[in-house]
Every structure is written in structure tokens, then in C-alpha cells.
Structure 1
């Protein structure tokens, strides 16, 4: 890593804070060597002073938290890595980084940090070498100030009247915005109080004038506004009446577009794209009883100035990679859509909710009673220590490290044969699922009685979204539900959807769902003309695959035949290079979740994969070799929609699997999102409620949805995807879209519309 940074190791001096090797190389066991860390520190200072007097050690690369603590007095290597800091006692500079040893696998366990961390550790090495060329500690110089009266804001905006791009940031107290900062460049920022703050005597009439100016500024349609995770800031500002006309760029979304494998919080972006040392603890450690409010105001100002700099530096990479158009004309167009999804939420039918909750209480009591009759005592099935004791000590089931659902399913399929022990495992799994469903039903609704979720637009490296409950700092208390976790089928949990209903009488839900989307994308990438022909001919591919696996005629495996589930999941998982164990776990877990009466052992799952080897030659001969060639090259995959990802993990089977799934998952998700963008442009007042990778759901008046929205949505969802610009260049693919309509979120009926894809 030093050579890659431009310096030979022989030109460097190496030493340790603690020069003795502790047992297991564990510094926590230092005392077992007969020495202490404290007694070694004076020798370290003596050595470094001697080197400094000879003109050396202009910059010290501190690897690990102990070196960071001793040399700088700071602690938390994950926070401080990449920061340029003054060295205590001897002078000079320190650049801290994670020790590369933390990337190594030990005894079959992964390193403490993902292998992709090697990239930003290398950045830290590069920075240390660069800093070793100069003696002085030179950090970014920024003019950070705060408004003590409305005139300060007036003068600031006046001086920058010709600047039409600004980064913004807010700080909130108890979820209410207390200040906003504005930076027209990386060099200057002003923090503006929005509420009375201790130590600042701003009259109410002057605060009113500040609000008026801020409101006018945010509504200025000539401005290009930049934010970091602005969806949060915008929601808070809207709660007190402020409305920004449009967000130009979000650095969190830009980071995930340019560097999808890296963290997207401002602290991490700052450490890799700026020279600003870590400062985020200034807010976390603020004590209003001891600290001046100026500390938080300056912190707020720094946030927006750093955000502006991060935007400028990230854009350089976006231009180099060719992602500028994709970011502004696709990713940023999604921001207001997801913001509106979060604002609208779902209406809850509380009568249905109460009945569901009562039903799941009865189900839980019934399952717990059955379990009690077998084991003879009560047990908390969510307590892993209690479950471990029951399984390993009382029932003498072979020990495993965990007792999560995957582990229990694996025991059921491969190890436990006695009926009573199998019954115990089944009851534990069922009770956990019932309790999980019950907790979802009981999820706290928002202040207006609606159920909401928090969307992360770039929740995965493939650009797929993720959802979560609302909690601090978005809401004072945990509330809402992860919409992606609401199962669609099955006896346990599937009926939760019935409690979500359209907002107004006469309205219905409309759900647009791409059919067998990822399988079709894999067929195109594999150049599997036979499979593509089956789709065009209307063959039930999952039923035909089931016939390959179980024998007989495919007509025997139409819905609701349970074997069809194995055909569906077997083909899908095989394309992504799954293992027999993983297929066994997925097949059985999903079968239980969806109420499908079928089980597959690991041996049987292996046989399924062998059959898929024989029946899907194009995946082996065309698709996998094409992906592996990229894995052995620059590891960069570009999707049909223009999304780009460089894969940074170790070259092994896990990396291959990640790469196999990337293009199908990313392109299907982006196809859905692209259709949402077009649909909102055509129907601006349409209320989109949920996006779920290959589908999205909206609500409205029945006639309007069925006669106007549904045909248009089907048309844009089925527009061909052009793979000519993909890393694996191919032709076009049109994926059929099913349109469903219903009066609650579960009971959706297919709407018959003209077929335009195949």
C-alpha cells in the first residue's frame, strides 16, 4: 500500500506504541507480556523526537485506534480515519487510518471491516505520503459565521445575489428546526437561527423577518440548492411552513451513485473528498448547560460549507465515470417522488386492525400452549439464550452458533428426525412469526392516524430502495412500518395488508407489477433464445421448470401446485450462482412464509441445481463467463439504464454471486422507478404510495385509475429496455406488466388490459 501511495517502505520508519507481541496479537492482553502500554509511551516520544530533530516524521501514519489515541488524544478510528491532525508533544502531522490487518480473514471469519475498505485505507496512505512533503499543517480555511440579527442575513444574501448555487443544512431540536445554514461556496457559510436561542437576543419581530427572507430564498426558482440527505431536512422545514421550490443535488444520493459500495453519511464523504478533519462529535457532545450556542451555529455553518465542497469533488468523479446525466435526469428526479410517498403514507382501517390483532393473539396463545405441552414449561421464543438452552441442553439437539430462523430451518431439513423435536422447532418458528406479525399490526401510526415508512432511495449497492420505521431524529418516538417487510402471501402475515385501505370512499389501489422480470433479464444476458421463446409463447416457465425437477407434465405444476414454488425459486437462485444450502434455506423459509406445503432438504436442493446445470446451459456458457471476465478485469458493470458499480471485494465465489445478480436487480428496479417518473409527469396529482423493486402502488378514483392511469402505466412499464449500452451488450427486452386493482392492499384483482409485451 505504501508503494501504491508513491513511497518505498524502506524510506519509512516503522514502530509500535507497544513493542511487545501480546497473546493472540490482542492488545487487550498486553499486561500478560509483563509490560504495560503506559510504560512504553515515553520511549515512543523519545524515538519520534529524535527523528523530528533530524528533519523526519513530518507526517506519521497512525494505524489503529491505539496509535490514534497516543499520538493525537482522539479516539475512534472509524470516525477519525483520513483526518489530518496535529501530533502531540513532538509536533508534525498525523494521518490516521484503519490497520490493514483488519481486512484479513481469521479462522474462517471475515475481517473486522469489509474488504472494500482497502480502497479508502489506500486513500489514507496516499494522504499521509502527500502530507509528508510539507511541514505545516494546512487545513481548509472557511469563513464560518452566524446571524445575530436579520440584517446579517440580508447583507449575506445581498453579497451573493449573483451566486445561483447554494448548499443548505439544518439542525433540529426535538425534531423542530432550530437553525439553517447557507453556503454559496466551500469557503464561506452563514448559520441563521430560526427560533429563539440561548445567548442570542433576537426579537420576535426580527425572527419574523428572518423567516420571511428564508422563505423567499427557498422559493427562488433561479437557485440551485444542494443538500446532504435533504429528504430529512426538507420534511422538517415543511412542518413549519417552509417549502423549497426544488432540490438540485443531494450529496448522499450522488455518493451512492458514484461510489455505491461506500458509506454515504457526510462524515465519511468528508474524510475521502475533503481535507476537513472529523468534526461531527461537536454536535453529539454539545451540552447546553456548559457550551455556548455558538458552537452549534458554527457546526451548522461548517456542514453546509463541507457539503458544497463534497458536491464539487464528487461531481468531478461523476463526470469522469460518465454518470452526470444519469444522476440529474434519473436519480434526482426520484427524490420528490419518494418524499411525497413518505408524506402520504397509508390509511389504516382500525376496525380491521383490531380484529387482526385479536386473531394473532389467539394464534400465539394456541402455538405457545402446544409448545408448553411438549416441553413442560413456558419459554420466551424471542430470547435466544432461553432457546439455546432448550435446544442444546434439554433436547440435546446438535449445537449451532445461532438459533435464528435459517439455523432452525437447516436443523429441520438436515439434522432433526424425531417428531417431538421437530415439532418444537416448528412451534418456535411459528411463534416468532406470529409475534413479528403482531408487532407489525400494532405499529404506532403517525400523528394523523396514517401508517408511514422511511424510504432510503439507495438502500443497496444495486440502487434498490429499502424501507424502515420512523425514529429519531425523524420522529420523537418510533413509529410506522417497513413497507417492504409486509409479506404478500401466506397464512402468517399476509393478511396484514387488509388493514390498509384507500384514503377516500370510491377510491381504489392500483398496483403495477413486472412479471418474472429478473428471469427475463437473465435470459437476454445469457442469449437464451429458447427461454425467450417460451415467454413469447406464454409458457408457464416456473411450471415447466418444476416438470424438469419433479418429472411429469408441466400442466401438473400450474398454480397452486406447491412444487411450482421450487421451480420458480430454483431457476431464479441458480442464475445467481447460489449454493445448495442457500437454496434449501430460501426455498423452505419462503414456503413457510407463503403457506406453501413443501420442504426441500439440502441434498434435494443440490439435485435441483444439478438439473438446472443441465437445463440452463446458456447461463453457464454465456452469462457467467461474461461476468467473470469483468471480475478478472476492471470489475466495473454498467447497466442498461446507465447505473455503474465497481466491485471492490475479494475475488471469490461471493464476488461472482454479487456480480451475477447486479444487472438484473438494478435494471428491473430502475425500470420501475423510470416508469414512476414518467407516470408522475403525466399525472402530477397521482398519489404513489409504495415502490417495491419490480412494482409500485398508487391510489385514486376507480374510473380514473382504470381508464386513464392503468393503460399509461402498463405502456411505460412495458417499454423496451435497451441493453446495447450495458457492459454485456445485448438487444432490447420488453417485460410484461400486470395491473391489479382493489379496495384494500391485499385483495387486488388483475385488470384486463391489452398485452403489449412478451
Structure 2
């Protein structure tokens, strides 16, 4: 054994846990950390091909050796997230299956075990690479022991690099930590001494002991006095930072050698964890189905239709069916630009047909034969992400009239907390089927080819497999939707919304690119001025976009104090500093302008469709857990409106035709109105039914003053509480928002609940209902699973409780506006009065001829206000503008 790689396993798991979101196995358990851990090890093996590797984990009760020295050691850390615990054991299971040695010793921290193994290997002339970014482990670096940061392009840290990064040699790292402390481990160090001070002291005196012997000779007496006052802290901190090498570990080289992987165990683990991609890479063409999934029939009949007679027979047969599944294969993913390469059909599982459009029949003949079939209103067509296929058909002049089912939307309704509703994932999860991956056909990266260039004999079984498994999923999901009482939401809201979204996406919004080009120039000039201002305040040039460099400027060089809080350059931290430190305010302004430039003014012009001159974004139904629509390519829902520069970006969106305008219809305080209806609080209902200012009414009730005596400050406080209550805001959040004392904020919230006691009861009922059922439900029976609400981790549980209260409100709002969109689309389309072009949660934007404004306004307003019958009126505000910014 010439080389040994030691993996700091828990740090890899933690990093993956926070970097990857939304991964769960079929049982709903989080798998994100495990997946990232596996990928990290695979990358390490690919990059370095090690023969010897050991993954080191913290053992149970691992802090006891150091808490005996300092009781508060690591006491500042939040407990391990509850859904990370089982992933530790699964990581052990992976190591076993993959043939990777791993260690976890009772009462031993991973760092100590890593140190002991590294020293043992070094004595045997074995080169050691410690895979970690933990600075504590730099004390181990020698001419034979190196740190390897695999998360920074395999950054190799040798003795010189340690000195370059920290300003001290590896053997001084323990003293370095003793002086500056280590906040992550709650090692105190000497208060007020940061990394630069610690490094300069060690450069001058060599060690902590020598520093302590030289206190009376120091030129900086203030510094010396501070050290004198904390000598015991420094000595204790050194003990805490020093690795304990006298721990048990295997001392036979054979233990550390990699073993051949157990493919059967890996196969089973990947299947249990729903790791579809890893299963494919493992080369398992078919695996045993999960116990809870229906058994899939293996024998299939997939037919390629490549003759006129065969096509005619297929069309005649399909025309007699009430339900037909279809899927298009295209030459690219863009729904507006994709061209059909072929189309697959199925009417039952195990049997499917593929019709290539680039084969002997040719595109024209295929489309001519299929157009009457696909436009038949008496046949209900279904697919997986059928919205995309509808676009492709429209690109070829075919208009689908009857959408019968969408398995992706059904999957989302049944499990909205997941973000993995792809066909490959569902086939694996529900039927144990590993489908042919798309990259097997078209490749990936620079070697990727178009599906048009893939031989028909390869595309045909791929497409047939897609429609086959879509058929199977439809049968499964129809039953599950009924069992979960979700059929109304599916058939009355989600399915009818699809053609509405198709029309919105195809129409798009016209963008005056020149306006944004000019704005980009102005923003660049503003940013250059801000840069110089920030450099002047900092006293040096640095990378403003680097959180690390910014933190060093703010907290080390400028010595800005956060009053004991964790050092951070997050926006909320800078907001709290901006009144006392001009540099913080300028950095916030810089970030806001840079985001506008890099996200919008520079990018939006490149996203204009060359043929239409318009931006065609994609609206997604299957992303947010509450039922809200999201938007991408580009995300027009996120363009800021509060800042002047944000409004200017909106002003670049204009109606293309002369004499046309934009109309905006915006629900007024819809979530608060829903709170009144769902809670049935009589005072809140009365406040809305009076037609007055709800925030002023709340202020008058809370402060016990007549309405006419409500001050600006009172109304602002009431408004903050009214909206904050929807998101579970506590006294701390309210105090930050209003700039008042926390006690005053707590008193305000208390008065609010005394004024609206039924609202408080409603909040508790929402939480208790979710605790018992595990789900939150909207007025229209949409469900959101919240299993975390019974977590033993306080932070996780509190977040889940907030979701339990907010979901019925935000989810119901989403249901209402979706229903309004469906009705408005039908009313306007019949007479071509206007085009709906955008939805921003509780607001709709329309493009229309100016002469239609009065009529459209009346139609839109009446439909939106009458979509749901509540205990309080729904009210809609209308605005007209010659550009989006004016609405």
C-alpha cells in the first residue's frame, strides 16, 4: 500500500444534505445526503483510482473526551437534522456494498480517528490524502500527509499551501486555533483575536507558549493585557484543538484496501433509495419491483409503423378508442422550436406503436394521416407532461382538443412535496423498471447528438417504452387520485389549466431589447461607481462578490461586531448593519443592481425568440408544494417591482401592436380574506365586509382607538402582523421588520390575538390537524404532506407548523386563481377579446386592443371575484398601462 485516502465522511454527508434538496425514497424518507455522499466517493474514485480508501465517521458519544475539558464544547451546534440520522446508517450500508472500508468508534470523533490513521500510515512511509475541508486537520499536514479538498476542484493542500491559506505552518495550526478560537466547535480562544492577529503573533513568536512567555516585552500592551486576561482560555483551547491520537483503529494494511463491489447489494440499496440514475449506471436493465408496487408484465409488443398501409390500419384502430396515450420524440427540448422526429401510441400496457416522421413515410404523409385522429374531440388523449407534446403538435399545425389525463400532473398531486415526477423515476419507483436512459441514444455534453440522427430502430423501442409505462401509470394514478379524494382538483383545476398555459406560453410577451441594452450600460456605470465607493470604505480592493473576502473586510479588517451573532454576509445581516456602517448599505445596493444586470438586463434579450420577437416562458404546474404556478426560461414572476430599476425592466415589456395595452388584474389581500373565511373569526369577517381599510381596522381594534385616530405607525404595525401571521412570524421577526423592541413586538402580537381570538384557534387547529393526518389541505381538497410536523427536532417541527398554517391559505389562493384563469380563458378566447400572457401568483396580465378594455375589464373582474363564494368578498384591482411597468 503506497497511498491511502481518508474520507471525512460526516462532513461529506452534511455538505450534501444542505446542497441537495427534494430527494426522497418511495417511503418518503430523505435521501439527499446519501446521494451526494455516493457521488462524492464515485468522483474521488474516478479522479484518483485509489487502491486504499477508508471512510471515517463520528462514533456515538464522540464529544465526551473534550466536554470533560470544556462542558460547552460544540454546544452551539444545532442537533443533527432528524432526516439525516438514517442516512448515516445507509452511508455505512453503501460502503459495505461498494467494498469501501469504513470506521466509527464509540466515544471517538472522526477528526481524532483520521489523525491516528494518518500518523500510523506516515510512519509506514505511506502517502496520505485526507479528503476534507476542515482546517483543524491541517495540523496533520507533512511532507507525506496532504489535505485534498474535493469540493474545490481537488485542491491539494501541502505544507506551503497551509501557510499560504492560514499564514502559519502546519505544526502551528493548534496554537493558531487556540488563539483565534473555532466558532464551529465553540472553542473560545482569546476574545477579539481573529485569524490575522493569531497568524501575526505566531509568525513573530513561534508558539502559544512563547507568546505567553513574552507578554511583558510586547510593544502592544493592550494586546498583551487581553492575552493575560485569557491565558486559561487559550491553554484550554489548545487542548481542545489538539487531535487525540491515542484511539483504537485497525493497524493492518489489508483492512484499508478496497474490495470488489457487491452489485446485488448496491442494486438493492439504489432501488430502495429510488436512485434511478445510479441504477442505470450500475448496468441493471431490470430489477425486482418494490413490494408495494404493482408487478409489471415483462412481455411487450412494440411495433414500428413504416408503411402507408400500416399507418392507415393504426389510425383506424386508434380512432375507435375512447382513450389514447401518445408521446412525441423531437429534435430539441424547446417547446416552441422543437420539431417532431416521431410519435408513439398506446391504448393498454405492454403494447405500443411508433411512427417515425423521418423514415420512409416522411413527415408530410405522417402528419396528414394523424391530424384527423389527434384533432378528434371524441378521443381523450393522455401523456406524461402532455403540455410539451401539445406544443410540438401545434408546431406542425395540429390542435389537440381533448386532454384526458397527464401522469406527471397526477404524480405531482399525489406527492407535491417531491420534485421527481419524471417518467424514468416513476417507472422505477412504481414498477421497478429501469428505463432506457436518453443519453444512451443521444449521448451527453459535447458528444450529444439530435434524436433526428439516432437510428429509428433505437428510437422506436425507447418511445414505445415511454407510452407503455405512461399507460401503466395512468391506471395506477386514477385509482390513487380517487383514494386520496383528489379527482376534483385533478379534473376540475389542473387538467383544464393545461390548454390555458399552452396558449399563454405560445403567445408570449414582446420585449424592447434596446431598452434593456441601454439599461445594462447604466447599471454597469452605477456598479463601477459603487465598487470604488466600497473599496474606499474598505481601504483596499477585493472581490465584492466573494462572501469569504467580504467577511474578512467587514469583520477582521473593519472589526464590525455582530454582538455575539455568527459572522455572515447574508442580506439580513447587512440590513441590520446598514444604518451604522455605510459600507453595508452600499454592498446591499451593489448586490441588488448586479442581480438586475446579470439576471435580467443582460439575459432577457438573449431569450427572445428570433421568429416571433417575443419571450416565451414556461409555466410549471408540478413544482411548488402549495399548488402555485412557477415560471422558467425566463422566470418573469421574479422581476422586482419595488425598486425603480426593477420597474424599468418591466417597462421594456410592451404590446407589439399599436393601439394595444396591458391590463393587470390583482386580487386584493386574498390570503387575508381567506384567513377570515377559513378561521370564521367574526371580527375579521366584519372588518372585510365593512369595505374599509383592513389594516387600519386591525390597528383600531388592537390599539383600542377610533378608526380616525389610527396613526401611520399603528397601521404599519397592523399590516405587518396581518401578513406576518400568515407565515408564522414571531416577535423577533416582527421586531426586525418594524425596528421595534422585541417585547413591544410580542405585546403587539398578543393584542392581535386578543382582538382576533378565533384566528389563534384556527392556527392551532391547522397544526393539530396536520399532526394527526400528516397533511395540510386547501379549501378545494388539494393536499400537502407535512411529515416533519411530528419531528423531535424543534427547528424542523416549527418550520412544519408554519407550513401547516400557510398551506391552506396559499394553496387555496392558488386553486382560486387557477379556476379563474380557466374561466377567463374560455370567455376571452371565444371572441378573441384579449390574450392572457402572465400569472404572478395573485395577479393576471393581459394584452389587448385598447377599445376592448372596458369589456375585458368587466369580464375579468366579475369572473375573478365570483370564482369562489366566501364569507367575505373577493375584490380585484384593475390597472391599465402601455407597458408592463405601468400596470
Which category of TM-score, normalised to the shorter sequence, fits these structures? Answer: 0.7 to 0.9
Does residue 382 of structure 2 align to residue 190 of structure 1?
no
User: Are the aligned partners of 1:253 and 1:458 in contact in 2 as well (CA < 8 Å)?
Assistant: yes
Partner Cα distance (1:482, 1:401) in 2: 33
What's the offset of the Cα at 1:380? 3.9
Return the match for 1:520 from 635, 653, 673: 673
Q: Which residue of 1 aligns with 2:404?
A: 248
Distance 1:62 1:523, change over 3 A: same
Return the match for 1:617 from 747, 757, 769: 757
What's the offset of the Cα at 1:623? 0.3
Q: Which residue of 2 aligns with 1:431?
A: 590
Partner Cα distance (1:335, 1:546) in 2: 42
SS, match of residue 242 in structure 1: coil
Does residue 600 of structure 2 align to residue 440 of structure 1?
yes
SS, match of residue 377 in structure 2: coil
Q: Which residue of 1 aligns with 2:686?
A: 533
What's the offset of the Cα at 1:566? 4.7
Distance 1:605 1:37, change over 3 A: farther
Map residues 79-98 of structure 1 onto 2, 5 A cutoff: 79=276
SS, match of residue 642 in structure 1: coil
Does residue 828 of structure 2 align to residue 665 of structure 1?
no
Cα shift readout 1:585-633 (whole Å, capped 9, x = no counterpart)? 7x4xxxxxxxxxx75677775565445444442222x202221231232
Distance 1:236 1:87, change over 3 A: closer
Partner Cα distance (1:93, 1:244) in 2: 36
Cα shift readout 1:649-705 (whole Å, capped 9, x = no counterpart)? 342222211110111111222222212221222221230011122121112122322
User: Are the aligned partners of 2:512 and 2:654 in contact in 1 as well (CA < 8 Å)?
Assistant: yes
Return the match for 2:303 from 128, 145, 152: 145
User: Are the aligned partners of 1:176 and 1:236 in contact in 2 as well (CA < 8 Å)?
Assistant: yes
User: Are the aligned partners of 1:60 and 1:93 in contact in 2 as well (CA < 8 Å)?
Assistant: no
Q: Which residue of 2 aligns with 1:383?
A: 546
Partner Cα distance (2:653, 2:574) in 1: 36
Stretches of structure 1 lacking an aligned partner (at least 5 in a row): 6-13, 46-58, 69-75, 96-123, 132-137, 196-201, 470-480, 588-597, 723-730, 749-758
User: Are the aligned partners of 1:82 and 1:272 in contact in 2 as well (CA < 8 Å)?
Assistant: no
**What is the TM-score of this pair, normalised by structure 2?**
0.63
Higher helix share: 2
**Greater CA drift, 139-148 or 495-504:** 139-148
Map residues 188-267 of structure 1 onto 2, 5 A cutoff: 188-195=351-358, 202-203=359-360, 206-262=362-418, 263-267=420-424
User: Are the aligned partners of 2:574 and 2:588 in contact in 1 as well (CA < 8 Å)?
Assistant: no
What's the offset of the Cα at 1:552? 8.1
Q: Which residue of 2 aligns with 1:694?
A: 842
Q: Which residue of 2 aligns with 1:272?
A: 429
Distance 1:703 1:19, change over 3 A: closer
Map residues 333-372 of structure 1 onto 2, 5 A cutoff: 333-372=496-535
Return the match for 1:459 from 623, 627, 634: 623
Q: Which residue of 1 aligns with 2:866?
A: 719
Partner Cα distance (1:62, 1:602) in 2: 54
Partner Cα distance (1:739, 1:340) in 2: 22
What's the offset of the Cα at 1:160? 4.0
Distance 1:450 1:551, change over 3 A: farther
Does residue 648 of structure 2 align to residue 495 of structure 1?
yes
What's the offset of the Cα at 1:563? 7.2
What's the offset of the Cα at 1:207? 4.1
Partner Cα distance (1:519, 1:487) in 2: 23
Partner Cα distance (2:786, 2:362) in 1: 53
User: Are the aligned partners of 1:255 and 1:314 in contact in 2 as well (CA < 8 Å)?
Assistant: yes
Partner Cα distance (2:343, 2:537) in 1: 61
Distance 1:746 1:554, change over 3 A: farther
What's the offset of the Cα at 1:159? 4.3
User: Are the aligned partners of 1:273 and 1:314 in contact in 2 as well (CA < 8 Å)?
Assistant: no
Distance 1:147 1:581, change over 3 A: farther
What's the offset of the Cα at 1:341? 1.0
Partner Cα distance (2:728, 2:362) in 1: 64
Q: Which residue of 1 aligns with 2:875?
A: 736
Partner Cα distance (1:223, 1:156) in 2: 15
Return the match for 2:103 from 15, 18, 22: 22
Between Structure 1 and Structure 2, how many residues are aligned? 629
Partner Cα distance (1:333, 1:417) in 2: 49
What's the offset of the Cα at 1:315? 0.5
Partner Cα distance (2:800, 2:875) in 1: 31
**What is the TM-score of this pair, normalised by structure 1?**
0.73
Q: Which residue of 1 aligns with 2:38?
A: none
Partner Cα distance (1:553, 1:63) in 2: 69
* Structure 1 vs Structure 2 CA RMSD: 4.0
Q: Which residue of 2 aligns with 1:112?
A: none
Cα shift readout 1:531-567 (whole Å, capped 9, x = no counterpart)? 2212222332224556788998866878xx5875553
Does residue 441 of structure 2 align to residue 296 of structure 1?
no
**Greater CA drift, 176-185 or 391-400:** 391-400
User: Are the aligned partners of 2:267 and 2:279 in contact in 1 as well (CA < 8 Å)?
Assistant: no
What's the offset of the Cα at 1:743? 1.6
User: Are the aligned partners of 2:346 and 2:471 in contact in 1 as well (CA < 8 Å)?
Assistant: yes
| Structure exhibiting the larger radius of gyration computed from Cα positions | 2
Does residue 773 of structure 2 align to residue 634 of structure 1?
yes
User: Are the aligned partners of 2:390 and 2:399 in contact in 1 as well (CA < 8 Å)?
Assistant: yes
User: Are the aligned partners of 2:331 and 2:339 in contact in 1 as well (CA < 8 Å)?
Assistant: yes
Map residues 35-74 of structure 1 onto 2, 5 A cutoff: 41=260, 64=269
